[in-house]
Amino acid sequence: MVPLQEGMCPGLDGDLLRSLLAADIRTVEDLVSSDLEDVSRKCSVSYKALFSIRRVLLAQHTAFPVSGADLYEELLSSTAIISTGNPSLDKLLDSGLYTGEITELSGGPGSGKSQVCFGVAVHVSLQLKQSVIYVDTTGGLTASRLLEMLQSETSDGDEQMEALQRIHVFRLFDAYSLRDCLSALRRGGLLQASGGGSVKAVIVDSVSAVISPLLGGKQNEGMSLMIQAAVALKTMAKDFSVAVLVTNHVTRGGGGGVQPGLGASWSHIPRTRILLERVDRAPSGCSSTLRSATLIKSSRQPCHIKEEFDLQRQSRSVRSSSGKRKRDEADS
């Protein structure tokens, strides 16, 4: 059920959309399966215009059968594996984030989801020299932290500035803006947003912050918005060959254990899901930068394998001989 939206194809402008809605044609299916002569009479639009719109919509939304061999060839040529910059996470993810797929990071407050997202953005922008689209819905993106991470990887100021310029940030705070932004990106705005550079990663931090206020109770819109945003992300991932990383909160399940939020419907959307937790080894007074990541859904690795990593030393590059690098030394 794809709703008709303005700008979906040339010729579908605001006035035509309104007259179609008045004639009770809301989705692409309604338009494609209706009698065009009837519709053109009701909406007083030319038959030719409707015919060409229908042809474009059919081309856009029909699934064409592909042979398995072709699919395999396409997979080999278009899929890339993007390292997260964190060797422990790469081990869990079977060497990294796969393009064309959605990967989800869930965890409680302070578990390190945003830090891992920063790490991925910095790695893709600096080491792979590709653009990153970062959609921030929580206000947690701090550019000075990105700069800190860049400074710990390279001491060249120009490289740092260039890497910062390759990270494009969208700041949205409600579900409708998120859906509209993702739809616009999916319909070709990806290249525009990145100013012509090739985008390899799209990070949404976090999806649950904007969607969960609309779920539950007597509201109907929440599920629909969630699925629309999910569809936009999936098609974006496939069509543009980008790796999509989203973050989610956690809720307490029945047995006292934590599980990712947004419910069962969302759980089918990401291909791979990782749960992040704090590791409390020392007594609660001491602060710890250790985090543990558990793989809870994957089509490539056995589930429930766990890895631990230190938020302080996420990057692969080892600068000093001893391997341990204190944070204040890295601050310039």
Partner 1 sequence: MTVELETANNHGGGEAVTALELLQREKECGSITTFSSQLDRALKGGLPVGKVTEICGAPGVGKTQLCLQLSVDVQVPLSFGGLEGQVIFMDTEGSFVLQRVGDVAAAVVRHFSLVAEDGEQKDAMQTFDMESILSNIFLVRCHDYVELLAELHLLPDFLRDQPRVRLLVIDSVAFPFRQQLDDLSLRTRLLQGLAQQLVSIATRHNIAVVITNQMTTRLQDSQSHLVPALGEIWGHASTTRILLQWEGSRQVAAIVKSPCCMDTAVQYHITSEGFRDVNQPENSDQPEIPLTERRSL
CB of 289 to partner 1, least distance (A): 7
> Whole-number minimum distance, CB 111 to partner 1, in Å?
9
User: Closest Cα to residue 316, out of 83, 36, 112?
Assistant: 83
Which long-range CB contacts under 8 A does 23-32 form with residues at least 24 apart?
27/1, 27/2, 27/3, 28/2, 28/3, 28/4, 28/57, 28/61, 29/1, 29/2, 30/4, 31/4, 31/57, 32/57, 32/58
H helices of the chain, where? 14-22, 28-33, 36-43, 47-61, 68-78, 87-92, 113-126, 143-153, 157-165, 175-184, 190-193, 207-211, 221-240, 263-267, 327-330
Region of residue 291 (phi > 0: left; psi between -120 and 50: alpha; otherwise: beta):
beta
Does residue number 266 form part of the binding site for partner 1 (CB under 8 A)?
no
Touching partner 1, residues 148-167 (CB under 8 A): 148, 161, 164-167
Query: Which lies closer to partner 1 via its Cβ, residue 39 or residue 149?
Result: 149
- Within 291-320, which residues bind partner 1 (CB under 8 A)? 312
x/- binding map, residues 267-296, to partner 1, per CB under 8 A?
-----------------xx-xxx-------
Q: Measure CA of the first residue to CA of the last residue in the chain; give whole Å.
A: 54
CA dist 272 and 184 (Å) reads 25
Report how far Cα 19 is from the mean position of its chain's Cα atoms: 34
Which CB, 34 or 52, lies closer to partner 1? 52
Q: CA 141, 164, 156: angle at the middle one, nearest 5? A: 130
Q: In this chain, which of 46, 78, 95, 142 binds partner 1, going by CB under 8 A?
A: 142
d(CA 293, CA 287): 18
Q: Using the minimum distance from each CB to partner 1, give the nearer residue, 193 or 243.
A: 193
Amino acid present at 10: P
**Footprint of partner 1 on residues 204-223 (CB under 8 A)?**
206, 208-210, 212-213, 215-217
Nearer to partner 1 (CB atom), residue 34 or residue 289: 289
Question: Toward partner 1, which CB reaches closer, 152 or 298?
Answer: 152
Nearer to partner 1, 230 or 262 (CB): 262
CB of 12 to partner 1, least distance (A): 12
- Distance of alpha carbon 141 from alpha carbon 167, whole angstroms: 11
Q: Is 240 in the site for partner 1 (CB under 8 A)?
A: no
CB of 285 to partner 1, least distance (A): 7
Which x/- pattern, by CB under 8 A, does the window 101-130 give for partner 1? -------xxx---xx--x--x---------
Query: Does 138 interact with partner 1 (rule: CB under 8 A)?
Result: yes
Contact flag: residue 3 with partner 1 (CB under 8 A): no
Alpha helices in 244-320 (DSSP H): 263-267
Nearer to partner 1, 50 or 117 (CB): 117
Q: Which residues contact 306 (CB under 8 A, 6 or more apart)?
A: 292, 293, 294, 295
Binding site for partner 1 (CB under 8 A): 7, 9-10, 108-110, 114-115, 118, 121, 133-134, 137-148, 161, 164-174, 176-177, 180-181, 184-185, 187-189, 192-193, 206, 208-210, 212-213, 215-217, 249-252, 256, 261, 284-285, 287-289, 312, 327
